[in-house]
Amino acid sequence: MLVALEKIFLNYHTFIFGSFINCNDGSFILLPELNYNAADNLEVILGSVVPCGKKGSEFNGTWEVNGEKIEVLKPSIYVQAKLSF
């Protein structure tokens, strides 16, 4: 399930908070994001990905396959710029 909330403030900023939720095991991923419209054709984005879940859940970040642990998701922060023309 995907849940998302969006709030626009000061005409140039948008705060978006989203989450992917696994209803079967209770794990989830938090996806907060702050967008800034610097110009008519330039958008700057600061966001984060935060996996949350107990050991063995889908979104805890690590899966075990054939006895080997595979790190699939890591908490991260990103900056992105979009230029439209």
Sole residue written with tokens 């710029």: 81
Predicted confidence at residue 17, as pLDDT, reads 95
Query: pLDDT value at position 59?
Result: 79
pLDDT for the residue 60: 78
| CA–CA distance, 29 with 56 (Å, rounded to integer) | 15
Tens digits of residue pLDDT in 32-53: 999 999 888 999 999 999 988 8
Mean pLDDT of 11-24: 91
What is the average pLDDT score of the chain?
A: 88
Helix/strand/coil (H, E, C) string of the chain? Answer: CEEEEEEEECCCEEEEEEEEECCCCCCEEEEEEEEEEEECCEEEEEEEEEEECCCCCCCCCEEEECCEEEECCCCEEEEEEEECC
